[in-house]
Copies of this chain bind each other. A is one copy, B any other.
Amino acid sequence: MQNKQDEKVKDRISRFESLCREKGIPVTVQRRVILQTLLQRQDHPTADQIFEDVRKQIPDISRTTVYRVLEALVGLAVIRRVHSMGNAVRYDGNIHRHHHLVCRECGRMADWESPELNNLPMPKRKALGFHIDDYTIQFMGICAECRRQLEHEG
């Protein structure tokens, strides 16, 4: 069981290394250990939590490096941010069930309402200890303005 998980992690890491070689990006100890640390956790840690973990293996690593490497890994699509908006809390005056279109680039959000999405099968109360009573879907993509900008850059 544990071995199976370990193998998966090893596999992901070696695929990451191939990807780096392909793109001519240096494979550093820090990157390998940061990726490994995230992959070994079953939760969804913050950069700082990863920093604390990684420190056990690389005591002199800098917090800055952890932040930079994580964003680099996101850029390579090796890992994901859990939610792709900026780092400020956003508020919504609409309290009935509705969904959002979110731009990966700039965090811009638009509402998305669709009756067929409003009666999905919910995890039953008690799922994993959670009492779930509502849900909201984030549709992810690129907004018109960012698309235009990306095209202009090349």
Contacts and interface: CB of A to CB of B under 8 A. Distances in A.
Interface of A: 12, 35, 38-39, 41-48, 50, 70, 74, 77-83, 85-95, 100-101, 103, 108-112, 114, 116-117, 120-123, 127-145, 147
6 tightest A-B CB contacts, nearest first:
A129-B144, A132-B141, A46-B88, A82-B90, A44-B90, A39-B93
Contact of A128 (B44, B110, B129): B110
A114 to B, nearest CB: 7
12 contacts: A44-B90, A46-B91, A70-B91, A79-B95, A80-B92, A80-B95, A101-B127, A101-B130, A110-B128, A112-B128, A136-B137, A136-B138
Contact of A123 (B50, B135, B139): B139
